């Protein structure tokens, strides 16, 4: 019995486009208006207790420890083993954040693994 490869439907592709653009857009916002923007960086280092400063601190800690790339790689490996729209969405979000927020190496490998997931057969449905 021949199994068809994993292929998202048109609605799922639209969902992936929306989620992908939103995650990369938010990562770009964080990078250029929270992390690298000098007035915000100076205010946060001076001890300004805002949500943006707390988010900046958390995001900085996460990308220094390659968390985005590692999460993207784990989810992409799961997607390669058993392709689904859920793992593809999670991997896309994590890899998008990783590419924009300085975890390029691991996130690039994760994107390659997610692409390879399209050659795997789709899981059987009941």
Whether residue 124 lies inside any domain: the answer is no
Q: Coil, strand, or helix at residue 121?
A: strand
2 located within any domain: no
Distance of alpha carbon 63 from alpha carbon 69, whole angstroms = 8
Total number of domains constituting the chain: 1
111 in Cβ contact with 76 (< 8 Å): yes
pLDDT at 12: 92
What pTM was estimated for this model as a whole? 0.85
Is 27 within a domain? Answer: yes
Residue 2 pLDDT > 70: no
The pLDDT value given to residue 6: 80
What band does 1 get if pLDDT is binned at 50, 70 and 90? low
Residue 107 domain-assigned (yes or no): yes
Q: What is the pLDDT of residue 121?
A: 72
pLDDT digits (tens, 9 = 90+) for 69-85: 999 999 999 999 888 89
What is the pLDDT confidence band of residue 123, given thresholds at 50, 70 and 90?
A: low
In a domain, 28, yes or no: yes
DSSP letter (8 states) at residue 36: S
Residue that the structure tokens 């001076």 belong to: 46
Digit-coded pLDDT (tens) for 15-71: 999 999 999 999 999 999 988 999 999 999 998 899 999 999 999 999 899 999 999
Any domain includes 96: yes
What radius of gyration, in Å, describes the C-alpha atoms of the chain? 17
Is residue 35 in a domain? yes
Domain assignment of residue 78, given as a range:
11-119
């Amino acid at each position: 019995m021949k199994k068809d490869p994993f292929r998202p439907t048109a609605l799922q592709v639209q969902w992936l486009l929306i989620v992908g653009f939103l995650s990369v857009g938010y990562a770009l916002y964080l990078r250029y208006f929270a992390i690298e923007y000098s007035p915000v960086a100076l205010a946060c280092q001076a001890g300004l207790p805002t949500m943006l400063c707390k988010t900046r601190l958390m995001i900085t800690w996460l990308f220094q420890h390659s968390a985005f790339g590692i999460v993207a790689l784990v989810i992409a490996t799961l997607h390669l083993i058993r392709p689904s729209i859920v793992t593809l969405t999670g991997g896309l979000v994590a890899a998008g954040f990783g590419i924009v927020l300085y975890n390029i190496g691991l996130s690039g490998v994760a994107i390659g693994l997610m692409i390879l997931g399209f050659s795997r057969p789709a899981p059987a449905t009941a």
